[in-house]
Structure 1
Amino acid sequence: MRTSSLTGVTPVLTGSYTPDSGGDGPGIAALRLDPTTGHLSYDEVEPLPVSGASFLAAHPSLAVVYSTNETEAGTVSAVTRADDGTLSPLGDPMSSGGANPCHLTVHPGGEWLLTANYGSDTAPGTVAVHRLGADGGLLEPTDLVVHQGSGPVAGRQEGSHAHQVLVDPAGRFVLATDLGADAVFTYRLDTRTGTLERVAVNPMRAGSGPRHLAFSPDGDLVFSADELSSTVTCHRYDAATGVLTALSSVPATTAEDVANQPGGIVASPCGRFVWVTNRGADTVAAFRLAGNTLEPLGEVPAGGAWPRGLALVDGHLLVANQHSGSLAVLRVLDDGSLAQPHPPISAPSVVCALAL
C-alpha cells in the first residue's frame, strides 16, 4: 500500500502507547515525510485512538493497516486509510490469541494476518493466525501455536515470549523470534487452512534474547537484534529448510557502563548495511557487511530517549523514541553511516513508524 494525497510526500503512520496501555499517546497518528529534506509534519486528520498501538503493518494491496493492541487482554485491529488520509476502524478489534501482542505481519498473499503475542509472567508467548476478508477486515482466527522454552536471564526468561513474526523473502516459511526461549521458531503456513506447521526450532545463544530479525535482500542472511546480550548477530539462512546458523556477533553499541537493549533492526535494500536502535545508549548504530561479519560504522544520537521502532523510508531512518515522546529522522549517507538527526517532532509514547 503506497498512497499519498500530496505529490512527492510519503505518508507515515505512527503507533503509540495510549493511557489504557501505560502511555500518553493518541494511538495511530498520520504524518508526512518530505524525502528531499527529511522534514516531518503532521497530517490534518484526527489520530485514531487505537489502544496500545505498539506495531503497525500494511496490507500488500489494500488501503488497510493492522495494529497490535498491546494490553493483557490482547487484541488486534484493522484500520482503513482514505485518500485524504482519514483513518477509520474496519470492524471491531479481535482477540490476538494471547497477552500483550507486540508484532504482526500480513502474509504476502494478503489473506492471512500473523501476530506475535509476548505473553506475561503467567501466559506463554504465542503466534496467532487470522483470516482476512476481501476488504481486508479481520475474520475468524484459524490457528494458535504456543511456544515453550526458557533462558538463563532472571526476570526475563522464565518462560517463552514471542516478539516478532515475519515471512521469509521467498514467502515459504514464517519465522517467529522468542526472547524468553532464546530461539527462532520456523513454521510453514498452509494457505488453504491458515494453520501453522512447525518445521524447525533454531536455538540462539543462551541469554541473548532475540528480539527482531531483518533479512538481507537476497534472503541468504538474517540479522538479529539480541535484546538481552546487547549484540547483533549475523546468521546464514537456508531457504529450503528454514534453518538459521549463527555466523558472527558484534556489540550493538560502543557505549560503556550503560545497560543497553537493542530494539529495532533494518537491513538496506542493497544488502551492504544494517542499522539498529539502542535503548539505553540512546543511539542508532550503523554496520557494514563484510563477508559474514558486521563491521561497525559508528553510531549517532537517536534524537531522543529509548529509541524503539526503526523504519527505512526514502533514504532516511525514522526513529521512534518512546520515553522522550519524539520521532526523529536520520539521513542515510552513501557509505551507510548516519547523519545527525533533524530536530525531532513531538510524538507522545511513540513506539513504531510505518511508511505507506
Structure 2
Amino acid sequence: MPSSPATGAIPVLTGSYTTDSGGDGPGIAALLLDPATGRLAYDDEVKPLAVSGASFLAAHPSLDVVYSTNETETGTVSAVARVGDGTLSPLGDPASSGGANPCHLTVHPSGEWLLTANYGSDIAPGTVAVHRLGADGHLLEPTDLVVHQGSGPVTGRQEGSHAHQVLLDPAGRFVLATDLGADAVLTYRLDTVTGTLEQAAVNRMRTGSGPRHLAFAPGGELVLSADELSSTVTCHRYDATDGTLTALSSAPATTAKDIVNQPGGIVASPCGRFVWVTNRGADTIAAFRLVGTALEPLGEVPAGGTWPRGLALVDGHLLVANQHSGTLATLRVLQDGTLDRPHQPISAPSVVCALAL
C-alpha cells in the first residue's frame, strides 16, 4: 500500500460491494486525504472491515460511530465503532433494515434515530425505516416502517416504488424521502419521542424523471435533485413550513449524446453558488452554477474511472467513487466552480461511496 499523506490528513472511509452483494470490495476501508494536494492513500494502521454490501455510510453526529447499509435482498444495517487509532469494529449485530436492498441512511441530529431508505426489489416495494439508537450508538429496536406505493412509465425501473434516499431538512423538522419508482419525494415528520413518521406531503416530480438524490443549497430555500431516469438536474423551491417542493428549473446532466446516462450523486457548494453531479454512462462529473434559481452548465471533466456513483465534497476536493473501474478519484474544486481533472485515482474495488470524518 502507498505511504500515508502528510500530517493533517483527513480520515476517509469508503464503502464497497462485497462478494455476497455482487462486487469484489472489502466492505469498509480506511484512507487518508492530504487536503493540500488531494492525494489519497490507504491508512496502513486500519484494517478493512468486512461489511456486506456497504453501499452508503453515515456518521453519528457526536460519537465515533458510523452506520452502513448492507445492500442485499435480505437487507440489514450495521453500526461500526472507530476505536483507538481509528480501528474499525462492529458495534453489535446488524439489524434488519425493514426492506430489501437498503441504499441510503442518515442519522438524526439528536443522535437518537437512524433512518434508512430501502430500494426494494422487483417484488418488494420501497420502504423507509426508523431505528432507535443507544447512548453508545448501537442499534436498538425498529420504531417505524413506512411502505411506499406508486409507479411510473419507465419499463424495468418504475413498475413499483423504490425509495432511494432519506434526508433531513436543514432545520431538522422534516424528513424527505426520494422515490425513484414513483416519481415522488415524500415528506414526513419524525416524532422524536416515539420514533414514528407522519406523512406531511407528497411532492410529485416530473413524470419518468426518477428522482434519486437531493442536496440542499445553504439556507435551505433551494433543493437540487439528481434525476436518474431523465438524466437531468432540477432546482426546486423548498417550503420549510410544510415540506413541499416546487420545481423551478432543470438542465441536462451531461452533454454526451447517444448514450444511456444515469446521474447518481449530487453535492451543493457551501457558498450555495455551485452544484456538482456524477454521470454514470458519460463517466463525467458535471458542474453547474446557480444563477438565481437557474442552472447554468459549467462543463464536465472525466470522473477518473467508470460508473461514478458516490460523490463527497471534502475541504475543496470532490471524492468520486467509480464503481465499475474500482477507483476512487479526487477532483479539486476551482474558485469559479469548475473542476480540475482527476488526481491520480487510487484502486478501490467495487467502491460506491466515501465519507470524510
With structure 2 as the length reference, what TM-score do the two structures score?
0.98
Q: Which residue of 1 aligns with 2:136?
A: 135
Partner of 1:29: 29
8 Å Cα contact 1:273-1:336 kept in structure 2: yes
Deviation string, structure 1 residues 119-166 (Cα, Å, up to 9, x no partner)? 000000000000000000000000000000000000000000000001
**3-state SS, counterpart of residue 259 of structure 2:** coil
Give the Cα–Cα distance (whole angstroms) in 2 for the partners of residues 292 and 269 of structure 1.
16
- Aligned partner of 2:264 in structure 1 is 263
Mapping of residues 1-356 of structure 1, within 5 Å? 7-44=7-44, 45-356=46-357
**Residue type at the aligned position of 1:51:** S
**Contact map agreement 2:58 2:67 (CA 8 A) in 1:** yes
Give the CA deviation at 1:83.
3.4
CA pair 325-31 structure 1, distance change in 2 beyond 3 A: same
Partners of 1:256 and 1:9 in 2: how far apart? 39
What do you get for the CA RMSD once the two structures are aligned? Answer: 1.1
Q: Please say if residues 55 and 68 of structure 1, whose CA atoms lie closer than 8 Å, have aligned partners that are also in contact.
A: yes
In the alignment, residue 264 of structure 1 is paired with which amino acid?
G
Paired residues of 2:288 and 2:296 also in contact (CA < 8 A): yes
CA distance in 2, matches of 1:347, 1:162: 27
- Other structure's SS at 1:114 match: strand
Task: Report how far residue 85 of structure 1 moved.
Answer: 1.5
| Deviation for aligned residue 1:7 | 4.2
Amino acid at match of 2:241: A
Q: What is the deviation of 1:231?
A: 0.1
- Cα separation, 1, equivalents of 2:286 and 2:68: 27
Partner Cα distance (2:112, 2:167) in 1: 15
**1:218 maps to amino acid:** G
Shift of 1:340: 0.3
CA distance in 2, matches of 1:319, 1:246: 27
* Alpha-carbon distance, 1:203 to partner: 0.2
SS at match of 1:54: strand
Structure 1 alignment gaps of length 5 or more: none
Residue 6 of structure 1 and its aligned partner are, at CA, apart by 7.6
Given that 2:316 and 2:332 are in contact with CA atoms closer than 8 Å, whether structure 1 keeps it comes out as yes
Give the whole-Å Cα distance in 2 for the aligned partners of 1:94 and 1:21. 17
Deviations 1:161-180 (A, max 9, x none): 00000100010000000000
Contact 1:97 1:144 in 2 (8 A): yes
Partner deviation per Cα, 1:17-38 (whole Å, 9 max, x = no partner): 0000000000000000000000
Cα distance in 2 between the residues matched to 1:237 and 1:188 = 15
Query: Secondary structure of the equivalent of 2:55?
Result: coil
Amino acid at match of 1:108: P
Q: Return the TM-score normalized by structure 1.
A: 0.98
Q: Counterpart of 1:274 in structure 2: which amino acid? A: V
Provide the rounded CA distance (Å) in 2 between the counterparts of 1:83 and 1:180.
43
1:221–1:234: 8 Å Cα contact kept in structure 2? Answer: yes
Cα deviation, 1:83-128, whole Å, max 9, x if unaligned, reads 3111000000000000000000000110000000000000000000
| Conserved? CA contact 2:6–2:34, under 8 Å | no
* Letter paired with 2:221: D
Partner Cα distance (1:311, 1:104) in 2: 15
Contact 1:28/1:48 (<8 A) preserved: yes
Q: Partner of 2:305: helix, strand, or coil?
A: coil
* 3-state SS of 1:205 partner: coil
Structure 2 letter corresponding to 1:294: L
Question: Per the alignment, in what secondary structure is the counterpart of residue 180 of structure 1?
Answer: coil
SS at match of 2:54: coil
**Aligned to 2:69, what secondary structure does the other structure show?**
strand
Distance 1:226 1:218 in 2: 22
Distance in 2 (CA, whole Å) between partners of 1:170 and 1:296 is 29
Of all paired residues, the percent bearing the same amino acid is 85
- Looking at structure 2, the residues matched to 158 and 219 of structure 1 have their Cα atoms a distance apart, in angstroms, of 32
